């Protein structure tokens, strides 16, 4: 189930950024290593008792999923990508459920015997809360985005310089960021 949810989160990320190829290319290059770091850190930071290996692995995956959702929402905010409320709520539902599962796994690892019944109940409540968020997000029929006709040439000629200016500014900021990280002689 976790792998299916991870694939669903990847699809949500792709859906949010598919219209912006450059931002999508940057996003997966940033989010993939970040996710790997969260995963590895979660495994390394865990207790090394073999009976808890499934719990530790599950927690690492849950934290990785939450990190991806938070990362993509931060990128959409930073780059002013328009995200409709339904998509934002679906992503928030995934993040809520993954965070709760990670917290639950942490508590389960500590108090395995006394906590199992309550753990199952709380996990089900977190899943139901996520379901309610998704239902709320999708309560209205979603409109299908159709492939639109390109705008008239006059509109393109008036908007293109503004877009190019914004892209140059973005490129300059990225260049400054990358050059500030390189060692100076």
Q: What is the pLDDT of residues 48-86, one digit of tens each?
A: 666 667 778 888 889 999 999 999 999 999 888 888 888
Q: Residue 37: pLDDT above 60?
A: yes
Q: Which residue has the higher pLDDT, 61 or 178?
A: 61
Tell me the DSSP string of the chain: -HHHHHHHHHHHHHHHHTT-HHHHHHHHHHHHHHHHHHHHHHHHHS---GGGHHHHHHHHHHHHHHHHHHHHHHHHHHTT----HHHHHHHHHHHHHHHHHHHHHHHHHHSHHHHHHHHHHHHHHHHHHHHHHHHHHTSSPPPPPPPPPPPPHHHHHHHHHHHHHHHHHHHHHHHHHHHHHSPP-
pLDDT recorded at residue 137 = 87
pLDDT recorded at residue 150 = 65
pLDDT recorded at residue 108 = 75
pLDDT recorded at residue 90 = 92
Q: What is the pLDDT of residues 88-142, one digit of tens each?
A: 999 999 999 999 888 888 877 777 667 777 777 888 898 899 889 988 888 887 7
Over range 16-37, report the average pLDDT: 87
pLDDT recorded at residue 164 = 75
């Amino acid at each position: 189930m976790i792998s299916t949810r991870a694939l669903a989160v990847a699809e949500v990320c792709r859906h949010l950024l598919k219209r912006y190829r450059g931002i999508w290319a940057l996003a997966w290059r940033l989010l993939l290593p970040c996710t790997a770091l969260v995963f590895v850190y979660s495994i390394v930071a865990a207790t090394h008792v073999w009976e808890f290996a499934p719990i530790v692995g599950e927690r690492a995956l849950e934290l990785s999923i939450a990190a991806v959702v938070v990362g993509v929402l931060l990128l959409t905010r930073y780059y002013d990508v328009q995200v409709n409320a339904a998509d934002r709520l679906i992503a928030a539902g995934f993040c809520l459920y993954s965070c709760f599962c990670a917290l639950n796994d942490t508590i389960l690892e500590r108090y395995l015997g006394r906590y199992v019944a309550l753990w199952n109940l709380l996990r089900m409540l977190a899943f139901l809360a996520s379901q309610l968020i998704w239902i709320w997000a999708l309560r209205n029929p979603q409109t299908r985005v159709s492939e639109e006709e390109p705008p008239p040439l006059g509109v393109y000629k008036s908007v293109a310089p503004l877009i190019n200016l914004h892209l140059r500014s973005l490129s300059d900021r990225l260049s400054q960021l990358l050059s500030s990280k390189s060692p100076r002689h």
